[in-house]
């Protein structure tokens, strides 16, 4: 009765990895319980999440082929576009969020088009806007740019409005740090950069005030939801963002944070359920309204049974 922080399934967002094909449910070794799914299996997974009271999924795509400019990312019949259509058709009440980025689609694995070995910001914006529109056309409720290019929220917002998608919301990865905790995701999404790292566009972990500036800019550009990523090593950032801005705050409980608990639990070194709930509660206590987590289904099950 006097508990200050509560968790419920309706604040969770469940990430899904989708690839072409049928009947695929391919385990991601570094993330036990996480699978690369095909169009049919992703729908059953999405439906299961909805039935557990989870209101939203976020989709990441694995294209059939990659190229320099990541052209499959905005193809009308791309894997994410098809998945959105199928999921919205079968589960109209589920909020479908799509990751808008190029790193899963480019042959070099960077989040934008390259000029030499540097990501070229401005031509990338045009492509990101095209991706967002293609997702909205497929039926996505929210697009989530994760690239950290300057000006991408405005570019996406303007293009969505021009194309008649004023009601499609933007969840911006506003404070995305250059983190070691993304490692397992890159295995799941097959998106590790082929050279260098993402330091030139992701944030430097020691900086906190810079996160507030980035968030301010994204809000001015039209973001509807702002995000801090990763969550656990950045709880102070979530707290500061919560205090500073009256905007919905999402936090991404990333792959490495998930993998650590899974690995320790598999060795019998930690109580997985308790650790999971403690972590999700901490993210919530820090001030997040929404938590993107691979634990979503497990947590929802536990919350509805307790």
Which residues are the active-site residues? 176, 229
Establish if 73 lies at the interface with Zn ion (CB under 5 A): no
* Nearest of 291, 184, 289 to residue 232 by alpha carbon: 291
Residues contacting residue 274 through CB under 8 Å, at least 6 positions apart: none
* Helix/strand/coil percentages in the chain, nearest 5: 45, 20, 35
Task: Retrieve residue 62's tokens.
Answer: 């694995």
Closer residue to Zn ion, CB minimum distance, 34 or 111 = 111
- How do strand 290-293 and strand 249-253 relate by DSSP bridges? parallel
Pick the closer one to Zn ion by CB: 177 or 284: 177
Of residues 108 and 154, the one with the C-beta less far from Zn ion: 108
Q: Give the footprint of Zn ion on residues 246-265 (CB under 5 A).
A: none
Please check whether residue 111 is in contact with residue 148, taking contact to mean a CB–CB distance below 8 angstroms.
yes
Mention every residue, 6+ apart, whose C-beta is less than 8 A from residue 206: none
Q: Which is nearer to Zn ion, 30 or 146 (CB)?
A: 146
Q: Does 286 help bind Zn ion (rule: CB under 5 A)?
A: no
DSSP 264: H
What is the secondary structure of 118-161 as a DSSP string?
EE-HHHHHHHHHHHHHHHHHHT-SEEEE-S--TTHHHHHHHHHH
Q: Work out whether 101 is an interface residue with Zn ion (CB under 5 A).
A: yes
Q: Which is nearer to Zn ion, 7 or 252 (CB)?
A: 252
By the rule CB under 5 A, 113 interacts with Zn ion: no
**Quick one: which segment of 32-40, 78-86, 104-112, 254-262 binds Zn ion (CB under 5 A)?**
104-112
Write down the least CB distance from residue 103 to Zn ion, Å: 3
Kindly tell me which residue out of 7, 54, 103, 290 binds Zn ion, with binding defined by CB under 5 A.
103
**Shortest Cβ 189–Zn ion spacing (Å):** 9
Cβ of residue 19: shortest distance to Zn ion, in angstroms?
17
**Closest separation in Å from C-beta 201 to Zn ion:** 9
Indicate whether 149 belongs to the interface with Zn ion (CB under 5 A): no
Query: Going by C-beta distance under 8 Å and a sequence separation of 6 or more, which residues neighbour residue 292?
Result: 12, 13, 14, 15, 58, 227, 250, 251, 252, 253
Which pair of structure tokens corresponds to residue 100? 């808008």
Stretch that binds Zn ion, among 31-39, 77-85, 108-116, 239-247 (CB under 5 A): 108-116
Q: Looking at the DSSP assignment, which residues form a beta bridge with residue 115?
A: 118
In whole angstroms, how close is the CB of 196 to Zn ion at the nearest point?
A: 13
Phi, psi angle pair for 124, to nearest 5°: -65, -35
Q: Which residue in 28, 111, 160, 292 binds Zn ion (CB under 5 A)? A: 111
Binding residues (CB under 5 A) for Zn ion: these are: 101, 103, 111
């Amino acid at each position: 009765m006097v508990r200050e922080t509560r968790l419920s399934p309706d604040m969770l967002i469940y990430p899904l990895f989708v690839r072409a094909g049928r009947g695929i449910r391919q385990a991601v070794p570094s993330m036990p319980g996480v699978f690369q799914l095909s169009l049919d299996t992703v729908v059953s997974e999405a439906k299961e999440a909805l039935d557990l009271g989870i209101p939203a999924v976020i989709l990441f795509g694995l294209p059939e082929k990659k190229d320099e400019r990541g052209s499959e990312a905005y193809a009308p019949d791309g894997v994410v576009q098809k998945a959105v259509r199928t999921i919205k058709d079968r589960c109209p009440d589920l909020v479908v969020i799509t990751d808008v980025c190029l790193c899963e689609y480019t042959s070099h694995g960077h989040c934008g088009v390259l000029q030499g070995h540097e990501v070229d910001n401005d031509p990338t914006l045009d492509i990101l806007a095209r991706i967002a529109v293609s997702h909205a056309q497929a039926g996505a409720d929210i697009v989530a740019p994760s690239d950290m290019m300057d000006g991408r929220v405005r570019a996406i917002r303007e293009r969505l409005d021009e194309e008649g998608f004023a009601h499609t919301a933007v969840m911006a990865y506003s404070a995305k740090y250059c983190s070691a905790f993304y490692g397992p995701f890159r295995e799941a999404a097959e998106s590790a950069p082929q050279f260098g790292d993402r330091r030139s566009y992701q944030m430097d972990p020691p900086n906190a005030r810079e996160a507030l500036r980035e968030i301010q800019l994204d809000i001015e550009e039209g973001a509807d939801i702002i995000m801090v990523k990763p969550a656990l090593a950045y709880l102070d950032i979530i707290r500061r963002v919560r205090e500073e801005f009256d905007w919905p705050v999402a936090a991404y409980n990333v792959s490495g944070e998930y993998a650590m608990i899974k690995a320790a639990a598999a060795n019998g070194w930690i109580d997985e359920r308790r650790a999971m709930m403690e972590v999700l509660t901490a993210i919530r206590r820090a001030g997040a309204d929404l938590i993107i987590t691979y634990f979503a289904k497990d947590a929802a099950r536990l919350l509805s049974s307790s």
